[in-house]
Structure 1
Amino acid sequence: MTTLNRAIARVTRRIEERSAESRGAYLDQVAVSLENGPRRNHLSCGNIAHIAAACVPGEKRALLAPKAINVGIVTSYNDMVSAHQPFEAYPALIKSAVREVGAVAQVAGGVPAMCDGITQGQDGMELSLFSRDVIAMSTAIALSHDAFDAALYLGVCDKIVPGLVIGALTFGHLPAVFVPAGPMPSGLPNKEKVRVRQLYAEGKVGRADLLEAEAKSYHSAGTCTFYGTANSNQMLMEIMGMHLPGSSFVNPNTPLRDALTKAAALRAVTLAEPGHGHTPIAQILDIPAFVNGIVGLLATGGSTNHTMHLIAMARAAGIILTWDDFSDLSDIVPLLVRAYPNGSADINHFHAAGGMGFLMRTLRDAGLLHDDVTTILGEGLAAYTQEPFLEDGELVWRDAATESGDDGVLRPAVNPFDPSGGLKLLDGALGRAVIKVSAVAPEHQRVEAPARVFHSQAALLDAFKAGELTEDFIAVLPYQGPKACGMPELHKLTPALGVLQDRGLKVALVTDGRMSGASGKVPAAIHVTPEAADGGPIALLRDGDMLRLDATSGRLDVLVDPAEFASRTTPPPPYRNQRGAGRELFTKLRGMASGAETGASIVA
């Protein structure tokens, strides 16, 4: 194993020092739970009878015995979200697998799984980010019966996996295994989908053509195939040791997928067995594991949403991450993957080119991953340089490829697409922000232009349709943060801004809101902190103010006389109807939300 890169070691030590008190308090609480032994053994006879009441006779006998291992299943199954529909069959597979080794599995509870693709540009999107924390709380309720010795977490998409992780870490004494469902097979190429979207934005094709293209893109059970937040989640769970090796991107409803699900269930039973092999999730998701997660995110050009989700997840384990950690690691972690929106390939192409096994091998060989970690398979990452196969119907692992099958999609660390990672930290008079640059051409990474202030996506799109946007500009959308409206994604702006950029205009976006995990070719300074609703200076910007967004130098500057800018008073916030689509239920939560750099969370 190559010696760990010095910069990664330095960032890790910094996180350890910053987190010493909070991490220590978290581990102390976990230790108390572990000292008491299996929680079910401390329940009353009436409590235990309730747990076993609905079981079949054999399982009931096992649960009434004090040493039986009971695995809780927390599932995000629903029929509407394609990524989660495959989970319908998982409980039966899991129960059958663990029954063969004398254990029991029960569905502990379900968590909501909304889809940002369905709510994109709609009122329901304002619930999206907060759904992560609702999922965390729902997970806690599912496990609050203290009936389980381990847990399996079934989740894939944007807020679901981070929410499940936060909830799982609240029960840090329990062993845990995360179980994916896999991506849908490849459909319409991403480049063609984008082309049709831009033509529709220009009014050159109709809704029927757009709908046909979208339906060919999103056509089957499984995750969307672009490399957005959902597939970034799966990469993270594997590189952080919570998935079985090579399991993240196996398509749903295949024999290999089913075999991996059964193996994950059996692994949870093994981790729950008393003795040396007993491995709670608190032991796996430690500081080096989170550093590995950030490295993976940067090396693959992953979702900007994880500049919030990873921070919130880590805080649930008493670990304090900052955007400076992401930025400093981005300086030395090379970009190794080109998958849409960073390229034309999709996640199936990445998997076929060598996938996670190749990626983790080359990062490990380059000294860019902590190898002194615990995973669900034990010590170190060597097992994660393998990939699964079926051999005469049996699940086996073989060494992953030592060479990429397509160096236009996946490259070794010695020959990267770019020597630095796909995310940058911006700082300046407006505060701090992040930008995804892996999909932005170098000539577009610096934009100096007057501000055009809009208070909604609709207002900008109306100006575009009216032909008002004919000169260089930086679109400013304040009051899009978690306190203002729950921080909806602004991905609906992407086609229009892309069209303007293609016409030769210098355009960019500055907002305290989010873009999609598939943030694309238009430079976007997002998650501006502090947000407008929290007194942030982004609220002071006016039409015509000169702005400079420079991703190469990491600056976000207001080219207005500092004294004049400081003398401005914050205008009244724009009126926003926050009733309907369930938004009224989240009024108090919006007021409690932390800033983007601390996770935009109400629980972590």
Structure 2
Amino acid sequence: MPTSLHPVVARVTERLAARSSARRTAYLARIADAVQAGPARTALGCANLAHGFAACAPTDKIALRGTVTPNIAIVSAYNDMLSAHQPLQDYPAVLKRAIGEAGGTAQFAGGVPAMCDGITQGRAGMELSLFSRDVVAMATAVALSHDMFDGALLLGVCDKIVPGLVIGALSFGHLPVILVPAGPMHSGLPNARKAKVRKLFAQGQVGREELLEAEAASYHSPGTCTFYGTANSNQMLMEVMGLHLPGASFVPPGTELREALTAEAGRRVTELTALGGSHTPIGELLDERAFVNGVVALLATGGSTNHTLHLVAMAAAAGLELTWDDFDELSAVTPLLTRLYPNGTADVNHFHAAGGTAFLIGELLDAGLLHADARTVGGKTLADYRTAPRLGPDGLTWDPGPKESADREVLRPVSDPFDTHGGLHTVHGNLGRAVVKVSAVDAAHRTVEAPARVFDSQQALQAAFEAGELDRDVVAVVRYQGPRANGMPELHKLTPPLSVLQDRGHRVALVTDGRMSGASGSVPAAIHLSPEAAAGGPLARVRDGDVIRLDADRGVLEVLVPAEEFAAREPAGGAPGADEQTGTGRELFAAFRRAVGPAEQGAAVFTP
């Protein structure tokens, strides 16, 4: 007997659909208008089409003249600086061969930029990071703009890149699309040891060489970084939302199974085109069920806080108005089923070995927490995704996933969760609304009431820590870090010093309109505070010594100052001026800073 859908999941989904009805209807009408009888390229003029296939092999030129061969766009975020994207170098050849064997043709339609937040942490380049998502979206749209294609394969893995690829593809929502991942690097230095060395460095007890040695032992080879940050949260979401083949997310690069899954993505996308037998446009596939499934999976795994931005932005691109209230309501009924660094010490390879996505999806389906009837690229519905890929004598097959977790310290069933509540909470009060990732925070540390120390940059906080000025109970306020102020950089480098203060027995919290990402640590952090200080948010009126109360479990964030006194204050501090936002390309993004929307609406620079 099919499992009935959890009433809260059903209610949130129905409310999302009703709230979005007008926008979603308009979006679906727009993509329906883009569908033509036969391949889009048949409407091109002769000179246009000749330009489109001029560099193709003679046999492909013949096929592209006709009306029965699907032509697939390959859009890639390959570069050989990012470990997660280096394996993508060989994918186009593998995909073209597989598509040809399936009776189609393929063209490398375009590349998109791929920057690494791990490299730019604490640097000026991090101020381009969030905006790079929308650059990727626009670059994807440029690649698909030639009306030559019947489907697309998107090659990307990391932080802003996958959401950008999806947003761009949704502008061509009449096309079927498969996301093609690269897989994680093998496990390196244990995460507990890495975190310890970082704390020792923050206290000056080890030097740069010792820290660099530890970091190099952690990030050591091609493949995705193995901690459960935004990159691996991306992979989880793409699978649960139906845009990966089943079990494709965490198979390592350089293996025969990885290559087989890559080739299968090429074969499968030809079947999903209007010329195949299972037409599945991405704009129809990514409906309210898919996005609710994505939120539930994020919560159940304690995934990256960045997706409180990215899921909202991706949903908007599909005509859906996903809100932080939806996250909060789903979080109340979603059990936490994984302990992955930074929420534990294990990495995604341990998760994969313990049962991985097949076990996780099966558990959530059986509990009625996922829409089993949501459409996917790999099968009829998400119900098919409780399987694991296997490469045997007969080629690539999918076997039933495990019924039990192989390691309950890493992955648990719904009947025995790490927590009955999901990994994210929203908090609100007279400072606005923010997000807290509680899955990494011990219950004893989730409530903090302490005097504020206010900073207008993360560098100022680090300097105060090094000077010994923060060795007490403190709520560190780091403001003017929102999207309008400076592009909303991640403030991940604040994790070690704040963790040191907490380890010394102090009550410590962070309140910021910036980001902390999937690498959020054990210190409670109210992030993405909206409205941001640069947009007139209340955070601009907080002063040193004001007592702030953060109660992540009860959803409270407030400054304990009389309302009339607080309202009468003039804003202090300010966002960096134009002359301070030059160099490292920042001056090129001034228009983005002026146009960007609030964090609650996805911090996007355009309205889909």
Whether these two folds match at TM > 0.5 is: yes
Distance 1:64 1:365, change over 3 A: same
1:587 to 568, 579, 590: 590
Preserved contact between residue 449 and residue 547 of structure 1 (Cα < 8 Å): yes
Could you tell me how far apart the structure 2 residues matched to 1:534 and 1:289 are? 32
Q: 2:267 maps to what in 1?
A: 266
Give 1:125 deviation, angstroms.
0.1
* Aligned counterparts, 1:190-269, within 5 A: 190-269=191-270
Normalised by the length of structure 2, the TM-score is 0.98
Q: Aligned with 2:35: secondary structure?
A: helix
Preserved contact between residue 178 and residue 243 of structure 1 (Cα < 8 Å): yes
Q: Aligned with 2:107: secondary structure?
A: strand
Q: 2:506 maps to what in 1?
A: 505
Amino acid at match of 1:579: T
Give 1:38 deviation, angstroms.
2.4
Q: 2:305 maps to what in 1?
A: 304
Preserved contact between residue 23 and residue 317 of structure 1 (Cα < 8 Å): yes
* Aligned counterparts, 1:52-131, within 5 A: 52-131=53-132
Q: Aligned with 2:553: secondary structure?
A: coil
Preserved contact between residue 82 and residue 222 of structure 1 (Cα < 8 Å): yes
* Aligned counterparts, 1:392-411, within 5 A: 392=393, 394-411=395-412
Could you tell me how far apart the structure 1 residues matched to 2:102 and 2:298 are? 37
Residue 158 (structure 1) aligned with residue 139 (structure 2): no
Could you tell me how far apart the structure 2 residues matched to 1:591 and 1:273 are? 40
Could you tell me how far apart the structure 2 residues matched to 1:591 and 1:224 are? 33
Q: 1:469 maps to what in 2?
A: 470
Give 1:283 deviation, angstroms.
1.7
Distance 1:194 1:275, change over 3 A: closer
Q: 1:601 maps to what in 2?
A: 604
Preserved contact between residue 484 and residue 594 of structure 2 (Cα < 8 Å): yes
Q: 2:489 maps to what in 1?
A: 488
Amino acid at match of 1:93: V
Could you tell me how far apart the structure 2 residues matched to 1:333 and 1:250 are? 26
Preserved contact between residue 595 and residue 606 of structure 2 (Cα < 8 Å): no
Q: 1:334 maps to what in 2?
A: 335
Q: Aligned with 1:348: secondary structure?
A: helix
Give 1:575 deviation, angstroms.
4.2
Could you tell me how far apart the structure 2 residues matched to 1:497 and 1:141 are? 43
Gaps of 5+ in 2: none
Give 1:34 deviation, angstroms.
1.8
RMSD over equivalenced CA pairs, Å: 1.0
Which stretches of structure 1, 4 residues or more, deviate above 4 A after TM superposition? none
Deviation digits for residues 425-457 of structure 1, max 9, x if unmatched? 101001100000000000100000000001111
Q: Aligned with 1:597: secondary structure?
A: helix
Could you tell me how far apart the structure 2 residues matched to 1:366 and 1:571 are? 49
* Aligned counterparts, 1:338-353, within 5 A: 338-353=339-354
Could you tell me how far apart the structure 1 residues matched to 2:525 and 2:326 are? 20
Gaps of 5+ in 1: none
Give 1:35 deviation, angstroms.
4.4
Q: 1:578 maps to what in 2?
A: 581
Amino acid at match of 2:17: E
Q: 1:177 maps to what in 2?
A: 178
Give 1:570 deviation, angstroms.
1.3
Q: Aligned with 1:480: secondary structure?
A: coil
Give 1:354 deviation, angstroms.
0.2
Preserved contact between residue 129 and residue 488 of structure 1 (Cα < 8 Å): yes
Could you tell me how far apart the structure 2 residues matched to 1:574 and 1:104 are? 50
Q: Which moved more, 1:570-579 or 1:231-240?
A: 570-579
Amino acid at match of 1:170: S
Amino acid at match of 1:469: L
Residue 149 (structure 1) aligned with residue 158 (structure 2): no
Deviation digits for residues 441-497 of structure 1, max 9, x if unmatched? 001000000000011111111111111112101000110000000000000100000
Give 1:275 deviation, angstroms.
6.2
Could you tell me how far apart the structure 2 residues matched to 1:62 and 1:575 are? 55
Deviation digits for residues 314-365 of structure 1, max 9, x if unmatched? 0000000110000000000000010001111000000000000000000000
Amino acid at match of 2:455: F
Preserved contact between residue 70 and residue 275 of structure 2 (Cα < 8 Å): no
Deviation digits for residues 135-160 of structure 1, max 9, x if unmatched? 00000000000110000000100000
Q: Which moved more, 1:268-277 or 1:585-594?
A: 268-277
Normalised by the length of structure 1, the TM-score is 0.99
Across the two proteins, how many residue pairs are aligned to each other? 604
Could you tell me how far apart the structure 2 residues matched to 1:22 and 1:535 are? 29
Could you tell me how far apart the structure 2 residues matched to 1:292 and 1:235 are? 11
Amino acid at match of 1:555: V
Could you tell me how far apart the structure 1 residues matched to 2:378 and 2:119 are? 36
Deviation digits for residues 378-411 of structure 1, max 9, x if unmatched? 4322220000011026111100100000011001
Identity of aligned residues (%): 62
Could you tell me how far apart the structure 2 residues matched to 1:159 and 1:525 are? 21
Q: 2:549 maps to what in 1?
A: 548
Amino acid at match of 2:24: R
Q: 1:526 maps to what in 2?
A: 527
Deviation digits for residues 564-589 of structure 1, max 9, x if unmatched? 00111113515451000000000011
Q: 2:141 maps to what in 1?
A: 140
Deviation digits for residues 522-565 of structure 1, max 9, x if unmatched? 00000000001111000000000000000011000110111100
Could you tell me how far apart the structure 2 residues matched to 1:217 and 1:25 are? 47
Could you tell me how far apart the structure 1 residues matched to 2:263 and 2:405 are? 29
Give 1:60 deviation, angstroms.
1.7
Could you tell me how far apart the structure 1 residues matched to 2:367 and 2:345 are? 26
Q: Aligned with 1:13: secondary structure?
A: helix
Preserved contact between residue 49 and residue 64 of structure 1 (Cα < 8 Å): no
Q: Aligned with 1:162: secondary structure?
A: helix
Preserved contact between residue 456 and residue 573 of structure 2 (Cα < 8 Å): no
Could you tell me how far apart the structure 2 residues matched to 1:589 and 1:344 are? 38
Residue 283 (structure 1) aligned with residue 288 (structure 2): no
Give 1:371 deviation, angstroms.
1.1
Could you tell me how far apart the structure 2 residues matched to 1:92 and 1:372 are? 34
Amino acid at match of 2:49: I
Give 1:103 deviation, angstroms.
1.0
Give 1:276 deviation, angstroms.
5.4
Q: Aligned with 1:177: secondary structure?
A: strand
Preserved contact between residue 150 and residue 269 of structure 1 (Cα < 8 Å): yes
